Amino acid sequence: MTKKINYVQIIFPFIASYFIIFSFEPFSWLYSIKILELTKIHGARNVFDNQEKYGITPGAIALFSFWPSVAVLAGIVFAFIISILISKIKKWSILNSFIVLTLIYLLYRFDLLGWDYIRSYLSVGRFTNDYQSKFIINGSILLIIALIIFFSKWTNRIIQNQYQKIN
């Protein structure tokens, strides 16, 4: 295993990690479909002010904001684990995986990933009115893209070629 920094092994896992963390987020919203549908019909302020009337508990409101954040962090960890495993199997430097982990976490933490902008282009599920279908379609497509980037022979060959140039 080489200990050198390989910018190609940082770029591809970074892109794949980006898609993974934002694929986990729509899946987390599946828990809150009732709240989302009620706010769409009655307005957010009305639903949150009259929780008892709509059968929503304060705990459900807390989880409504809690799960998306946890899902994104779980996505970061999941992407890091995949990156580490691939690096170990291919005998690449795991230092690059730690660089990607640090970079993606800091950009997420300071809201610099630009997801709100890119989401409008990648949200294929926007063509359906059903929240559940929308979240499943969006999460699945983003996860598939990420896994293709991680496990593609093409990307792995590019990274391997870069390692051969370095050594």
Domain ranges of the chain: 7-166
Name the residue with tokens 């430097």: 93
pLDDT value at residue 167: 64
pTM: 0.87
pLDDT value at residue 31: 86
Stated length of the chain: 167
pLDDT value at residue 142: 93
Note down pLDDT in tens along the chain; length 167 residues. 456 788 999 999 999 999 999 999 999 999 889 999 999 899 989 988 899 899 999 898 888 889 998 999 999 999 999 999 999 999 888 999 999 999 999 999 998 988 878 777 777 777 888 889 999 999 999 999 999 999 999 998 888 888 777 76
Q: Please check whether residue 120 is in contact with residue 111, taking contact to mean a CB–CB distance below 8 angstroms.
A: no
Q: Where are the alpha helices (DSSP H) in 31-57?
A: 33-42, 44-49, 51-54
Within 13 Å of residue 56, how many CA atoms lie on the same side as its CB? 23
3-class secondary structure, 4:
coil
CA distance 6 to 87: 12
Q: Which residues contact 78 (CB under 8 A, 6 or more apart)?
A: 20, 24
Name the residue with tokens 């898609």: 19
Report residue 21: phi and psi, to 5°: -65, -35
| Residue (of 25, 55, 38) closest to 134 by Cα position | 25
| Residue (of 99, 78, 95) closest to 150 by Cα position | 78
